[in-house]
Structure 1
């Protein structure tokens, strides 16, 4: 390992106090004699400042203490550098960490982040924006919009906004989906653009997804009633139903008859009625558990 490593901390992600995490990191790097520069995000010019740090320090690893949004920002900032990203989950819903099967304890995650081998992950490009995990249009994006306007954070906040969103559900939208597959025209409540399998809550929405296979999946949740939608969101039914269709592809276009709520990696991105989507293979080196190394 090179002498220089950079830790990027999002101090407000997940509404969590990071003091205990920072203390654990400091103990770990002192024990292993690791030279670590710490950068705290501010929401202003973070990407540019991280690029400058990479230029000057030329780190071997970028350690990210935050959620999916912070990881994505760092991944985009370091895309022109040969650097491995290590993840210390510290967001509201740590979807990528869940999909990578990262452990629960800080100590185990520190070992993985600083010392383990890596996966070369794909990234999805949607209307020119990058997605490292799960994006969607429809029901879940509407829930995220409501969550961002709520004072209650974390999993409780997600659960409450799920209930409120289901109770105030609009009519389904009509989607036309084209690509290198037969055109699909259907009513839908939600279409997931998936680079992986699970949401940060642990709900499996794309059971066969792989983050390094050069493809993404479109998971189409069609015109279902509230009971079935609620069961899907809480992970209580399998996905082998006529109301769900999964398309695996390298590129696609989704056009909806009305503007629909859209989110990328847990960040609400407004109303959209067209999404142009393509896969960008092997864009991000991310440290993974040794058990996951056996499967790639």
Structure 2
């Protein structure tokens, strides 16, 4: 009797045709003598449907063809279930795949997704919503809001909306941040809630981030002029400057003086004035390219 593998495909993520991915995965599964069950997300009852498929087929692995939002959805559906998630990057930016150093070819990613060892990564709860990668208040969230309205997808879409957002830059907001550290009150352009190091564009925002250490980082960008922004984009994060402060913790509350744009893992969630944040340790098993469970 063949073992089952579930493949979850987001047909619309990244505005990318997934037919090549599905065909390659189907051929790979056949060669491995595995029964591949394919589920295409629709945006309606996906978590419930994935839970039903898991209960019916009991796969040891779930292969996800999509972006960070699709991966997060599968992780939420599989909460408390012992299943390994293999990633075939197919979103607009694929932030988690970038942080995991997944390769660029379908063939290499299939080998990792089907066969490699895994690491258990943390998730973050933000006002009851879960984040697996990077969430933030301020400039980047505003850019994502603009990106979601745009017809241009992929990295060029992000670049264009970054320029547009900077041109229309609003005043900085005042943030009060409390937790198991001295209270911080400051003006900020952006506050990142980071479970990892890099955005999907490859920009490193949290150089010391580790996805399985039981902590998250708050990266407070107090100034984002062109000099600071240029350093961040070119990989020279000015962590020792007065413009940026990084706090590592397992819980925090952020309160702002005005409603500020907010996003989770590349999805815009409107404006918020208060965020209650806590770490959720070892929430999902993800297949990784390094057999020693280390991320370089």
Tell me the TM-score normalized by structure 1: 0.96
Structure 1 range deviating more: 55-64 or 234-243: 234-243
The alignment yields a C-alpha RMSD, in angstroms, of 1.6
Q: What stretches of structure 1 of length at least 5 have no aligned partner?
A: none
SS in 1 for 2:252: strand
Q: Does 1:57 align with 2:32?
A: no
Matched, 1:143 2:143: yes
- In the alignment, which residue of structure 2 is the partner of 1:127? 127
Determine the C-alpha separation between the residues in 1 that align with 2:250 and 2:193.
11
What do the CA deviations read for 1:76-133 (whole angstroms, capped 9, x no partner)? 0111311110000000000000000111111010011011111011000000000000
SS for the counterpart of 1:213 is: coil
Specify the alignment match of 1:206 in structure 2: 206
Indicate whether 1:87 and 2:82 are aligned.
no
Residue correspondence of structure 1 range 236-251 to structure 2 within 5 A: 237-251=237-251
Q: Deviations over 1:57-83 (max 9, x none)?
A: 111001000000000001001113111
5+ residue gaps, structure 2: none
Could you say which residue in structure 1 is the equivalent of 2:282? 282
**Separation in 2, partners of 1:236, 1:247:** 19
| Residue pair 2:100, 2:295 contacting (<8 A) in 1 also | no
Deviations 1:219-276 (A, max 9, x none): 0000342442354345455433220000000000000000000000000000001000
> In the aligned structure 2, how far is the partner of 1:223 from the partner of 1:86?
38
Judge conservation of contact 1:166–1:230 (CA < 8 Å) in 2. Answer: no
Cα–Cα, structure 1 residues 294 and 131, in superposed 2: closer, same or farther, change >3 Å? closer
The aligned counterpart of 1:220 is 220
TM-score, length basis structure 2: 0.96
Equivalent position of 2:152 in the other structure: 152
The number of equivalent residue pairs is 296
